[in-house]
A = this chain, B = another copy of it.
């Protein structure tokens, strides 16, 4: 059966030490017992991780590629991540720099249900960057969010996304809020002929999640925002695999920062916010944009965008969604950087005058459309 591979960057002072560390990871991530007590046969031959490659990267830095059996992961995305980086995440000087699922794991985790083309079809924006204003702040009432959402439809938003901080606070319980926004957006869509999509932020205890997913689908939501750092990546996979639910997923990076921030541990930006989100089945990956209030570099943002959109998989290409610090003045710069297949989150800059959020959204639409004229279709 086709094994999947994970590439780790390791601190080690020699090839021997790098190989020993890699063999330690191969044990740790699978059997978790010393090599001399691994049962011979199937466990040693198939289940045990296998060091496929060791290469020097720089002084004291090595790269190891380890292959794992699909049998070690089974059919659960959670267990797949457990094999990729469960216990090794706790050891110093190990960073995941690539994950290649191979054909067998790609069959089990086929990726986004909608992808870029599917999202464009749903919202009717065939070319150009997409605009996703964010409903916030927490503490408002459902009627407030409903008014903001209607304004966003009138302004020409492609997706109305909820702030990841809207859960089920006493001022706006999850169900009341979703119902109010759905009703306001249906009315605004009928008035404008637009197809603006609504992605509420999934909220609830684990035993409420299934009911809440059915509820938001029946209420008329068009997709769902999920925080895999808090709810688990398995939830993204579970939603993406559900043909009856048939909802696109936007993933939010909340609580995931420590995985990328320290260069010597964790997971590379493109792997965490690109490859692993895409393989889990996210259609849109939100990440902190360069130049905003987070510290990602342009190179890190482009690594994410590339991993989201690589034409050769895994699964359908998905939409990168840079958030933070986007405004009309940066539209041309952002388009030059990201190209067309991108969803721009618009947050605080829209809320200076909530009653005129429609004008703020349409100003951003015009800024993006100006930048698109004369540009070739596709990514920059």
Which A residues have a C-beta under 8 Å from some C-beta of B?
24, 28-34, 36-39, 42-43, 46-47, 71-79, 81-83, 85-92, 136-140, 163-165, 167-171, 203-207, 209-210, 227, 229-235, 237-238, 253-262, 264-267, 288, 293-295, 347-348, 351-352
Contacts and interface: CB of A to CB of B under 8 A. Distances in A.
A167 B259 CA distance: 24
Contacts of A39: 137, 139-140
Contacts of A140: 39, 43
A288 B86 CA distance: 12
B34 A139 contact: no
A351 B37 contact: yes
Given A72-B139, A82-B255, 8 more contacts: A32-B348, A37-B351, A47-B138, A76-B204, A79-B168, A82-B165, A90-B260, A230-B233
Contacts of A266: 258
Contacts of A235: 206, 232
Contacts of A205: 76-78, 234, 237-238
Contacts of A86: 164-165, 227, 230, 254-255
Contact of A171 (B37, B71, B85, B232): B71
A60 B314 CA distance: 44
Contact of A169 (B32, B71, B170, B203): B71
A296 B139 CA distance: 41
Contacts of A28: 293
A138 B31 CA distance: 6
Given A237-B205, A238-B205, A264-B262, A81 B255 contact: yes
Given A205-B234, A254-B82, A168 B33 contact: no
B255 A72 contact: no
A233 B254 CA distance: 14
A203 B79 contact: yes
Nearest to A323: B87
Nearest to A28: B293
A137 B47 contact: yes
Contact of A170 (B33, B74, B137): B74
A231 B234 contact: yes
Most chain B beta-carbon neighbours within 10 Å: one of A32, A204, A295: A32
Contact of A234 (B92, B169, B230, B260): B230
Contacts of A90: 253, 256-257, 260-261, 288, 294
Contact of A137 (B32, B85, B206, B232): B32
A165 B87 CA distance: 10
A186 to B, nearest CB: 26
Nearest to A89: B257
A78 B167 contact: yes
A47 B167 contact: no
Contact of A31 (B81, B137, B171, B265): B137
A340 B257 CA distance: 36
Contacts of A261: 90, 92, 262, 265
Contacts of A88: 257
A27 to B, nearest CB: 9
29 contacts: A28-B293, A29-B165, A30-B138, A31-B137, A31-B165, A32-B348, A33-B348, A37-B352, A39-B140, A43-B139, A47-B138, A72-B138, A74-B168, A77-B205, A78-B230, A82-B165, A82-B230, A82-B255, A86-B227, A87-B254, A89-B254, A89-B258, A90-B253, A90-B261, A92-B261, A206-B232, A231-B232, A258-B267, A262-B262
